[in-house]
Amino acid sequence: TRSTRPQRMLKAVQKNATKGNPESVISAIDYFCKHSEWAMNVGDEKGSILDSVVTEVNPSTVLELGTYCGYSTVRIARLLSPGTKFITLEFNPANVTVARQIIAHAGLQDKVTVVEGSSGDLIPQMKERFGITTFDFIFLDHWKDRYLPDIKLFEECGLLRKGSVLLADNVICPGAPEYLEYVRNSPRYESRYYPAHLEYTTLEDGMEKSVFLG
Ligand SMILES: Oc1cc(-c2ccc(F)cc2)cc2cccnc12
Ligand SMILES: [Mg+2]
């Protein structure tokens, strides 16, 4: 039967990227998406914004919602200090399988734990299952109708501390209007918008960075 787009992306990484070299994995995926098949990775333009926020925060605990094929997982993991606890959640088991192989090709398998399941089910398990107290940095890049319920879940589960940074992809395209309204109007967050473009296109998109004020 016909392969899937994530499987074809994995093949491109295995063919074109150097094992143990995260930069070459990132470049191979971006090349595949620009020249072969568009895919919903955060991409190079928004990926640079992600890099700068991760570097600025220098987190000890990281959560990513929406692993997909592991592109942003590799971007984040390559920047983390040794001993950082990094968890990424993915709902689709086929994506989990591809992501683990792409992350392993980059040599970053010991830096991150890929967990299969829905964010709504897994977020309340973070403390007991993974020994997390609070997250220093959270990257939201899953289904847009989950952004608002999940940020409320973080608050309810006591997973945020004064200064926790949340970065959300796709707040314009596909869009997360209720999430934007919440973080921009809540006195508990300081928010800033980073204009960019939808990965590998000229369409408008952007990322929202929100700092929890406690
Ligand atoms: O970066 C993303 C982009 C899109 C997307 C799909 C089709 C479009 F026509 C436009 C945008 C979906 C995502 C779903 C989850 C996480 N990221 C996404
Ligand atoms: Mg995205």
Percentage of the chain exceeding pLDDT 70: 100
Catalytic residue among 141, 150, 205, 208: 141
Return d(Cα 40, Cα 135) in angstroms, integer: 25
Residue 139 CA to ligand 2 centre (angstroms): 10
Instruction: Give tens-digit pLDDT for 9-34.
Output: 999 999 999 999 999 999 999 999 99
pLDDT at position 101 is 99
* pLDDT confidence band for 185 (50 / 70 / 90): very high
Q: Is pLDDT at 201 greater than 90 in this prediction?
A: yes
95 is catalytic: no
- pLDDT over threshold 90, residue 1: no
Q: Tokens representing 87?
A: 């968890």
What ipTM, to 2 d.p.?
A: 0.99
State which of 67, 71, 91, 170 you would mutate to test the pocket of ligand 1, scoring each by most atoms of that ligand within 8 A of its C-beta. Answer: 170
Asked if pLDDT for residue 174 goes beyond 90, the answer is yes
